[in-house]
Chains A and B, each alone.
Chain A
Amino acid sequence: MKRESIVPAACAAVTYTVLCHPHHHTVFIVLTDGPGNKDDITRSKNEGKELSKEEKQRLRKQKKQQKKQKERKNEKSETEKEKTPVSLLPPPRPVATQKAPSALPAPASAPIPVPASAPFHSSPAPSPADKPAKSKAELKAERRARQETDRAAKQPGSSSSGIKTKVPLSELNPVVKRLPEHVQVDDPAVVKRLAKKLERQQIPLRSDYGYKVSLFSHLHQYSRKAPLTQQLSIPSTVIHPSIVRLGLQYSQGIVAGSNARSVALLHAFKQVIRDYTTPPNEELSRDLVNKLKPYISFLNQCRPLSASMGNAIKYIKKEISNIPSQCKEEEAKTKLLTCIDRYIEEKIVLAAKAISKYAIEKISDGDVILVYGCSSLVNNILCEAFEKSRKFRVIVVDSRPRLEGREALRRLVQRGISCTYVLISALSYILPEVSKVFLGAHALLANGYVMSRVGTSQIALVARTFNVPVLVCCETYKFCEKVQTDSFVSNELDDPDDLMVTRKGKTQLENWQDVSSLGLLNLVYDVTPPDFVDLVITDLGMIPCTSVPVVLRVKNLDQ
């Protein structure tokens, strides 16, 4: 179920700038606020959230009171009472089902009318004696409350159109999903909450660096020269040393690439599990998970977690909590270690072999294959295809500032594959020669979009224009439940100083911070729509991009 329009109707205080991409079909609607409006919006965002919290507490109280009333009025069998807690639940939902900035101001208005209905409930509650007289008034109040909530639910327009259908589902698992904190950096309340959480876990907070381009001011931007270890004590006691080492390697870029990061993470977790001893009066299944939480926050501070890492962490947490309580510590630890080994073996190593097998079918003799950046999976495929004596040549496209293509070039040439190397600016010149494009992915989103290194969507776009097939190779463990249609909402900002280059002893951008109107933007990821991708090669087979939600659903059912 694709939602194309994300424009809320009831946002009066916000002005819009509409950007239309000449080739894309999607329209980017950017909120540009007037000088005073931004504060209003942040205030209303805060209020909206706080209200929803208070609202939740009030709801819980009312639920309890109504349960008591139910027991007292058993003979009356008032089914309406049971309905009202449900009808009150939907209004906080708009907070949950919204995506990022454009929809945030909307739910602020939604919970406001609801508290108006709440007093109606509290008034009938404290008079249990007057049962028959109150029952009519109570019924009326409830009916009124239900109408109010329905009206409130209708107000935000299309943003809550899905809510009515979701009501029965929400009854089953009332989990309020909040926006992740790493896309709300410009919201001081969220930042304060994060600081408090890190303080509780005794992890230092990494401060943002440099001027952020306004479109991306909701994301973190760190400097590589200010590592998090500056604020840690040197023989790190709070955080396991292998996790500190891993965090350093992430932030310095020594371990880069989705697969490498996941493998390194699991390796570090293996060491943590090996060194772990259950404290007395605690259970391994619960305590170990709690031990891992600050480590994960620390790694998140060093570099935002990737989708593959997130899935690996979910898997480990599930395995740990599934350990039966009567299991001895040594047994449990060996079991966990073998689980991790098996996960890596199945999801990464064997998946790579399976994907190579499928992909090699698609490579024919005389092909000219274009690759972008350094994807470990695509390099693997090409090397295996070369070993199986397919005759092809490769064009490696590279882009600044990372220049990862050089590493891919080195690996391919070392095997003996004949390669050409161009920068992405030469893409349209070189594409007429290309017969296929192989792209790697950082993650595949639930709506079929491909999240990959910045520049990938350009490659896919130009390839589509030249009618060159684009094949994306991705293991299934990188599939994630997120939904994103643009690269602004959730991305990663790398160190802006990377954009500085020294030529002939001169660094032109050396004092970029002093120029007030200059901002450096170093994006890491971008999102490619499924219209530009012809085939996704996974370890389950070759599927079209739109089948990703099916794979996710099947995976969830399995688990």
Chain B
Amino acid sequence: MELQAVLMAAGGGSRMMDLTYNTRKPLLPVGNKPLIWYPLNLLERVGFEEVIVITTKEVQKMISTDPKMKLDVKMKLDIVCIQEDADMGTADALRHIQQKIKTDILVVSCDLITDAALHEVVDLFRAHNATLSMLMSKAHEFTETVPGQKGKKKTGEQRDFVGVDGTGKRLLFMANEADLDKGLVIRKSIMRKLPRMHIKTGLVDAHLYCLKKSVVDFLADNKSVSSIRGELVPYLVRKQFSKSMTSPNVNDEADQKLKKKDGNANLEIQILSRDEVLLQLTRERSCWNDHRGDMSEAYHGVRLRCYVHIMDEGMCYRVNTLAAYIEANRLAPKLFDEPAVHPSAAISVRCLIGADSIIGASCQISDKASIKRSMIGASTTVREKVKVTNSIIMHGVTIEEGCNIQGSVICSNTVIGRGADIKYCLVGSAQRIEPEAERTNEVIVGTDQLMEI
């Protein structure tokens, strides 16, 4: 077996608590499908037959009972539950399932919605015998107004600095603004080997990683690493050019010296020991080099290599903020070709449903309702003369007559009283909006939610 897929679905959605306090992030509906369906669909389309899903008990219950998931996902899901309050990072989760991992792994996050060609990422991993291969995409500006946002959009989002070589494939440098004190620090060893580096900001990390099995074993020994993106990836990228990794020959002496060092050296041993004599002979005889201009051999003799595939065009979203959630709802329907209107929805003849709206199963849309550019969840009732524009309505919502909902997100099981005028609001789940209410740019959540800060 070549690759095992691991889906990380235990995250809490800490940046959109308003949406996730009732519905867990993996089950948030996007285009009337749970968020977790998208990465599973991506893996299935590519050809995976089994996925290890790491999630919480709640989500597992929901997945096993949800009929839609059962129908659409044909792969075998091996669901591993972890405690919700254990505060496990993604790397801790990998350590938890170390026994199940037998080959190299492909780690996917549950909030990834993309139509990327995965074979590009995996080809880099295979062809260059890389330790890490990841996917990034050019970030798109979110154009939709985010409900509940007061004032200008805060630019507090920490930037990521990504350094790649001339071909744009080899990952040389990765740092987050939060980790940098005053400026970018680039090691001289990198500059000596690869004097031309392109540093890019404005890239979205898709949180899709191909990792070698030796990395998982390394994680098992080093319990201090807890997050893949936050700690493991920058560590691997830094380790590429550290002195101990660039030994030219596979010497027994060098191996022994390394074994005497601390646990961090385990990674190097695991990589060195698998470099067989034949592979070295191949590299010696092959007339290929990945760079030119200096005297070193291919890859500068570096054994730990990190690669990145940067997508120029195509869709790649990580649904971890409200703005991303809304944007994803706009564009996710393009990923699948189900009909926009579910066949079981009861739609009266005289209502107006725009072409880019999605109506969920068992909905009831009454006369003279107008639905434009919106997503209506399952089992929702929309009464007469309701105007819904640019909004996301989750399942189980009741919208009484005469309402006007614009640019809002209405979570599940709410009731909007008649004649209410909701503009750019975020209404939490199981809320009641009183009739004739006029709300603009507000976040309406229950009082129990307010305590969670």
Contacts and interface: CB of A to CB of B under 8 A. Distances in A.
A29 to B, nearest CB: 35
Interface residues of B, number: 33
Interface stretch (B119-127, B347-355, B392-400): B119-127
Interface stretch (B281-289, B360-368, B370-378): B281-289
Nearest to A254: B288
Interface residues of A, number: 40
B338 interface: no
Given A233-B46, A233-B47, A256-B288, A267 B278 contact: yes
Contact of A230 (B117, B129, B281): B117
A44 interface: no
Given A263-B278, A263-B282, A252 B2 contact: no
A280 to B, nearest CB: 21
A235 B105 CA distance: 10
B287 A376 contact: yes
Contacts of A413: 295
A499 to B, nearest CB: 19
A182 B138 CA distance: 41
A255 B286 contact: yes
A245 interface: yes
Given A233-B47, A235-B48, A259-B285, A248 B126 contact: yes
B178 interface: no
A408 B2 CA distance: 35
B285 A257 contact: yes
Contact of A245 (B127, B288, B295): B127
B46 A260 contact: no
B1 interface: yes
13 contacts: A229-B123, A233-B46, A235-B5, A244-B2, A245-B127, A248-B127, A254-B288, A255-B282, A257-B286, A263-B281, A376-B286, A407-B287, A407-B288
B122 A234 contact: yes
B126 A256 contact: no
Contacts of B288: 253-256, 407
B127 A252 contact: yes
A344 B122 contact: no
Given A234-B47, A254-B128, A260 B289 contact: no
A260 B126 contact: no
A38 interface: no
A325 interface: no
A257 B288 CA distance: 9
Contacts of B287: 256-257, 260, 373-374, 376, 404, 407-408
Contacts of B282: 255, 260, 263-264, 267
A227 B285 contact: no
Given A257-B286, A257-B287, A344 B278 contact: yes
The 3 closest A-B pairs by CB, nearest first: A233-B47, A374-B287, A260-B286
A264 B30 CA distance: 47
Contact of B279 (A257, A267, A344): A267
B80 interface: no
A230 B281 CA distance: 29
B3 interface: yes
Nearest to B279: A267
Given A241-B2, A256-B288, A410 B46 contact: no
A373 B281 CA distance: 19
A236 interface: yes
B292 interface: yes
B127 A376 contact: no
Contact of A376 (B47, B49, B285, B289): B285
Interface string B265-300: 000000000001011011111111100100100000
Interface in A142-193: none
B292 A406 contact: yes
Interface of A: 227, 229-230, 232-237, 241, 244-245, 248-249, 252-257, 259-260, 263-264, 266-267, 270, 344, 348-349, 373-374, 376, 404, 406-408, 410, 413-414
B52 interface: no
Contact of B46 (A234, A253, A257, A348): A234
B118 interface: yes
Contact of A235 (B3, B123, B286, B295): B3
B284 A376 contact: yes
Contact of B123 (A248, A255, A263, A266): A248
A236 B122 CA distance: 11
A241 B288 CA distance: 22
A227 B123 contact: yes
Given A235-B3, A254-B128, A410 B289 contact: yes
Contacts of B47: 232-235, 237
B278 A249 contact: no
Nearest to A257: B287
B48 A245 contact: no
A256 B298 CA distance: 13
A153 B284 CA distance: 53
Interface string B1-21: 111110000000000000000
Nearest to B43: A234
A408 B123 CA distance: 27
The listed residue with most A CB atoms (<10 A of its CB), out of B48, B119, B283, B292, is B119
A406 B278 CA distance: 24
Contacts of B285: 257, 259-260, 263, 376
Nearest to A250: B127
B314 to A, nearest CB: 14
Nearest to B3: A235
Contacts of B2: 234-236, 241, 244
Contacts of B123: 227, 229, 248
Interface in B324-365: none
Interface in B231-285: 276, 278-279, 281-285
Contacts of A230: 117, 119
A376 B281 CA distance: 11
